[in-house]
Amino acid sequence: MKAKVEVFLKPGVLDVQGKAIEGALHGLGFADVSDVRVGKTIEFDLKGADPAAAEAEVKAMCDRLLANTVIEGYRVEVA
């Protein structure tokens, strides 16, 4: 199975990278842009056939390593 994890800063946590990118986009004339948030995507292969079990395992990975839940949220897709 393929697992895809998206990690992003929680709402309310200042995303300074997002702010810088927003400023640069405005500088290029894309004036309608607002609220830019930068996250990251982590993809990997996972052995096993049970999607529910795999999703639970990937969430455990997120809680223990892939995301810092003090500041970050995550979304998991297993297919």
Residues that bind other proteins (CB under 8 A): 13-14, 16-17, 19-20, 65-66, 68, 70-71
**Rounded least distance, CB 19 to other proteins, Å:** 8
Token reading at 50: 């049970």
Give the nearer residue to other proteins in terms of CB position, either 20 or 53.
Answer: 20
**Rounded least distance, CB 68 to other proteins, Å:** 6
**Rounded least distance, CB 72 to other proteins, Å:** 8
Token reading at 74: 């995550």
Q: Count Cα atoms within 13 angstroms, Cβ side, for 51.
A: 6
d(CA 4, CA 21) in angstroms, rounded, equals 24
